[in-house]
Structure 1
């Protein structure tokens, strides 16, 4: 998947006031409670109390941290503590950073906090993310209202209640209870599909299903609409590229939910392959191999005619002829047109490799390239092919399929 970059331009205006009066100008104190409402020390204390409540999975202790007159906030916090227990959250931490603006007239205000957490048995190390937190100052005391929102990452388990399904090899959390069972089945079925090819994988598959595509964007701190047409994405929970960062499958239920059973299973198995191969941290692997290999694994034992699985690229080849080169990063951009055809063409490249050199050679090639071996060297050593020979065989295959 293509990376996202955000640029922020801050323009500060300075206004100089001049007065002709003899008396010096004295600014009037701000009206209302907002100036006194932002209380970093109080916010730090209540975050510490939240960590204790969530770490002990105590919903009533978490509920007590909400404003007394805001039962919805209490329900949210209690749900988060329940989530923490069902997900076996460990290494939970929360550190107040800074307010994002002044307080409102009712004493509410938002701030950024650094949060850390991991799901025991599945995540190797904690996720570390900056999250927006809403507080409210009431009679000199700081209460906790919610986590998430604003222009920061909104982790699913901190946004409200989630339905959890767990096996020794899979962990599924869904914002809507009706989604949990379906995606739990897809995750469980994906494990043996991947292990038939990636035989050394010790399955630890986490799947998160927000309620909407917009919620998926918020969970990944992405621009609105980024994942609107994407069925699922495998990525680190906190956006980190560190080798031990928690990597989860994030589902767009609007897209994956409309697929039939076979198509949905292929998508889940594809994403599970990315988890098994630590794809988000494989910066040296070209995307045609990264994505083509995942589709090779997902489609290996599916009884679908090749002309059906490659229908979009076949149509494109019939119209424009076979591509001159294997697809690069530009073609895999999430906003690119004909994205389905690009994935199909990458899959066929891996099919050709497996047919020419054997599946074991394809797996070895993938592992070597992910470890940093140049593609040309790995192709020669593992598959006995040059890059030119692979491209030529791939183009011939596309032409044959297009008739």
Structure 2
């Protein structure tokens, strides 16, 4: 059964401040993982659920025991690539410390003339030390009739979540506070691991009680990111990174990770890349994935955290909103949810304006007051009462102060 993932919500958490060509700019922000084959359907006999169940149980045992040779033996006898893929998954699990891994056969999805077929399987897994509870998702398994048994060719594809660690061999980097999984080179893995390690203290300077840690997953391409998150093609084509649950669930204890679009992230300069990673880490630390708060607070606060100690003048870090104000005047109201849509024109200016709103609150009442305000709204306190409690003014008065700031910056 396909897991629902509300793209409007994911997109609301996904756009990050990107720094490129020396300026701060807002953007709506070949080793392919296995994709199950789709040859012509067979008119022959039905696949064997019993043999498929046996194969899945054997693979589950191989992952749990860390036995790469046992995993290789489950691939078709003449498919070395599948054997490498399955052994790589076991290596991923060992390096990332996957726990509570289970696979349960659900149903056949289709049998084909070449002897391959797909099955849906319920999978659970958990990254030890990082995830509060196991992920749970229905995944597709590629299978093949192979001399009286059913062999496994790979995982993922179709209209299901495709967990990155089940896609094949990855570069895995783990510290006590960060876990990074990269479908790429060792050099790329080192770079992403550095960004993740740096983001943790950046966030803790503002949120010192965050202790859970950060998981970052980097597919090989934008298309692979769409597949990993069961998103429509092109959903993340302008997005550098997204913070969302690994299995598409919308529960407070869902495993929430940062997923990177390497096609966008890879084009950033070092400062911009770090700001993106720190922004997403702030979302992880605050549980932003399930927060009902207005996006101008949620996104603006994450940028406040990420940009707090970055040495850039406001004229550069807010260049797009400044240009918009010079052209059309200051916005009449704080940004709405619609203003944060992934296809909204001038989205960069929207994010900059939200950052400036949060920065203004911190300047007015102090960083501790901004954090208390954020947490109060996150718990359900309406914005007006929360503003009055921490800063002594209501929404209209604050909006006017914010508009005045924008006008002053625009000169």
TM-score (norm 2): 0.89
Aligned counterpart in structure 2 of residue 148 of structure 1, from 156, 159, 173: 156
Aligned counterpart in structure 2 of residue 51 of structure 1, from 55, 60, 65: 60
- For the 8 Å contact 1:136–1:145, the answer to whether it is kept is yes
Large movers: runs of 4+ above 6 Å: none
Counterpart-to-counterpart distance in 1, 2:312 and 2:234? 31
- For the 8 Å contact 1:131–1:152, the answer to whether it is kept is yes
- For the 8 Å contact 2:203–2:306, the answer to whether it is kept is yes
Larger Rg computed on CA atoms? 1
- For the 8 Å contact 2:218–2:262, the answer to whether it is kept is yes
Shift of residue 106, structure 1, vs aligned partner: 2.0
1:390 to 1:292, Cα distance in 2 relative to 1, 3 A = same
Q: Deviations over 1:120-169 (max 9, x none)?
A: 01111111111111111123311111100111111111111110111111
Shift of residue 341, structure 1, vs aligned partner: 1.0
2:381 paired with 1:373: yes
- Equivalent in the alignment of 2:9: 3
1:33 to 1:151, Cα distance in 2 relative to 1, 3 A = closer
Shift of residue 345, structure 1, vs aligned partner: 0.7
Counterpart-to-counterpart distance in 2, 1:222 and 1:44? 28
- Equivalent in the alignment of 1:16: none
Counterpart-to-counterpart distance in 2, 1:383 and 1:41? 65
- Equivalent in the alignment of 2:285: 276
Counterpart-to-counterpart distance in 1, 2:284 and 2:352? 20
2:255 paired with 1:249: no
Shift of residue 337, structure 1, vs aligned partner: 2.0
- For the 8 Å contact 1:131–1:153, the answer to whether it is kept is yes
Counterpart-to-counterpart distance in 1, 2:319 and 2:225? 29
Counterpart-to-counterpart distance in 2, 1:143 and 1:88? 25
Q: Deviations over 1:281-334 (max 9, x none)?
A: 11x211110000000000011110001000111111111111111111111112
1:239 to 1:136, Cα distance in 2 relative to 1, 3 A = same
Higher normalized contact order (CA 8 Å, seq sep 6+, divided by chain length): 2
- Equivalent in the alignment of 1:186: 195
SS in 1 for 2:339: coil
Shift of residue 70, structure 1, vs aligned partner: 1.0
How many residue pairs end up in the alignment?
Answer: 375
- For the 8 Å contact 2:10–2:243, the answer to whether it is kept is no
Return 5+ residue gaps in structure 2 as ranges. 1-6, 12-40
Shift of residue 37, structure 1, vs aligned partner: 4.5
Aligned counterpart in structure 1 of residue 48 of structure 2, from 39, 43, 60: 39
- For the 8 Å contact 1:357–1:384, the answer to whether it is kept is no
Counterpart-to-counterpart distance in 2, 1:4 and 1:313? 24
Counterpart-to-counterpart distance in 2, 1:42 and 1:333? 47
Q: CA RMSD in A?
A: 1.5
TM-score (norm 1): 0.90
SS in 1 for 2:101: strand
